[in-house]
Chain A
Amino acid sequence: MLRSYPPQIVLEAVLNGLLTGAVYALVALGLTLVYGVLHIINFAHGAMLTLAMFAVLMVHLGFGLDPYLAIAPLAALFFLFGYGLQRFVISPASRNDDGAILLVTLGLSIVIENALLAVFRSDTRSLTLDYSFSIVDLGFALLSLPRVIGFGVAILVAGALWAILALTDTGKAIRAVAKEKLGAALVGIDVNHVYAVTFGLGAATIAIAACLLMPSFYVNPRAGNAFVLVAFTVVVLGGMGSIPGALVGGLIIGVVESLCGLYLGDSLGQIGIFLIFILVLLLRPTGLFGARA
């Protein structure tokens, strides 16, 4: 059943998998960060990604802003959006009950998705840019330019996020709150502020992911969900709450999807992802980089 391909084609599939995987990793970063600190799964993650993708579309159609130039303003905007969402909607509505937070984020996703449906209808749209179909020729492989850029920026963002968490006082406060809330409050860390900053950082990574996706992808009011489903697998594979885990997990998942697509056909490409998901849950529930509970 398996055909054998020349090594060059397999190599190209692996490279393409890495490129896609980096964007998966970026979407997963936001999810794992919020989980690691607030200990909740943000069910609105997918809807927020869709919202960000529409935002990229709108700033391009409205102001002629290139998606890559929109990275900084949209990341800042979504940081504020995420901060406000946690501070003024999710936290007061859920009264810090974990079960309630879950339902509030689920409710938010329904609200966002239907608002987008009301405004944009269910049509699928995409951007046409001069470089959408540009190719990078490595000599041994041909790669799509927007996806190469996406890979580079995603790795940079993961590095920047790691640096923030490891080196700044705010980042240290985030890590402190993640493991020891009372201890954090008693050294003077405003825990609610840190929660909101974390949620804001998660939203900002989503906005960046949307900017990287739009030059080569399409958007409709449900477009974000496909990525977040994969991102969940990435988070489980890498270890819940682990930043390096999200990055490595994303790259692995990207390659697995690409190779499965090559050998089993495009329509079955994602089957490998879910096989990994089940295997990880069975054999190593803490994931690659996860700490034991």
Chain B
Amino acid sequence: MAEALLAIDGLTAGYGQTEILRGISMTVEPGEIVAVLGSNGVGKTTLNKVISGVCGATAGRIVFAGQDITNMAPERIVAAGLIHVPEGRKIFPNMTVRENLELGSYRRAKASRATNLEKVFETFPRLMERTRQAAGTLSGGEQQMLAIGRGLMAEPRLLILDEPSLGLSPLLVEEMFGLVRRINADGLAVMLVEQNVVQSLEVASRAFILENGVFALQGNATDLAASDDLRRAYLGM
């Protein structure tokens, strides 16, 4: 096996006295889709924020592409090619769709901004119809596309998607998972952080189940989908 793209070892983090992550270890290999699953409030978003540097780690190590990025400034982590598309999209509502996308390449891949813009419009034709529209006026699904498109503008080596299906209609959720498959087909590694267990396990090769700040289960996605523990806990079967 080649060297892991992302390797997390013994990571702990929290806010003040409250410990949210209590010893997380995981890897993402180049080119694979890894799912991190769990219900609300188990620490999924905190894990993402610590990886991308907007929250501090209290112990443990995060290594990305051979470089120790633990507690590095967010802009340096972006520069290294680890792009986090946050929960709730966090697009710039006051700016146009085009400006949002342009800012995606603020720190990285600025030289190929024009070609990447075309690629994003190819992937999301609906965004091209709305280039001059303020991003805040887009529908929820379009905003999610914009957030992912903005992430792709930086030519990521690893894309972390935090709850991309949250708040979308069932039809759009289906489309979103298809999209994750498509962007991964070009060899882009994706860490998919989701509550939607069934569909995430369908697209991922491996999965980690987060419960109260530790991984309760982990392994091959197809094995996990068949596991009794998981079915009992998340699918009520």
A187/B154 in contact, CB under 8 A: yes
Are B86 and A183 touching (Cβ within 8 A)? yes
B124 at interface by CB-CB < 8 Å: no
Give the interface SS of chain A, mostly helix, strand, loop or mixed.
helix
Chain A residues in 8 Å Cβ range of B93: 179-180
Of the four ranges (under 10, 10 to 19, 20 to 34, 35 or more), the interface on chain B belongs to 20 to 34
Q: Does A71 contact B (CB under 8 A)?
A: no
**A183 proximity list for chain B (CB < 8 A):** 86, 89-92
Contact B106 A188 (CB under 8 A): yes
Q: Select from chain B the residue with minimum beta-carbon distance to A36.
A: B94
Distance in Å from the Cβ of B51 to the closest Cβ of chain A? 11
Does B119 lie at the interface of the complex (its beta carbon under 8 Å from any beta carbon of A)? no
Closest to B147 in A: A183
Shortest CB distance B135–A (Å): 10
The reply to whether B52 and A176 contact each other, CB–CB distance below 8 Å, is: no
A166 to chain B, nearest CB (A): 9
Contact between chains at B103 and A172 (CB < 8 Å): yes
CB < 8 Å A-B pair total: 71
Known: A176-B95, A178-B94, A179-B94. Is A185-B54 also a contact (CB below 8 A)? Answer: yes
Decide: A186 near B84, CB < 8 A? Known: A169-B106, A176-B103. Answer: yes
From A177, which residue of chain B is reached at the shortest CB distance?
B92
Residues of B within 8 A of A291 (CB): 94
Query: What sequence of 0s and 1s flags, for each residue 84-110 of chain B, a beta carbon within 8 Å of any chain A beta carbon?
Result: 111001111111000100111011101
A189: contacting residue among B99, B102, B106, B110, CB under 8 A: B106
A184 to B94, CA, bound (A): 13
Question: How many Å lie between the Cα of A175 and that of B96 in the bound state?
Answer: 11
Q: A59 contacts the other chain (Cβ, under 8 Å)?
A: no
Chain B nearest CB: distance from A239 CB in Å? 13
Let me know if B106 and A173 touch, CB within 8 A.
yes
Closest B residue by C-beta to A183? B90
B74 within 8 Å of A by Cβ? yes
Contact of A175 among B52, B83, B89, B92 (CB under 8 A): B92
A172 touches B102 (CB 8 A): yes
Q: Is A182 an interface residue (CB 8 A)?
A: yes
On whether the beta carbons of B86 and A182 are closer than 8 Å, the reply is yes
In the complex the two chains form, what is the Cα distance from A178 to B150 in whole Å?
A: 18
Q: Are the C-beta atoms of A186 and B54 separated by less than 8 Å?
A: yes
Residues of B within 8 A of A (CB): 52-54, 73-75, 78-79, 83-86, 89-95, 99, 102-104, 106-108, 110, 150, 154
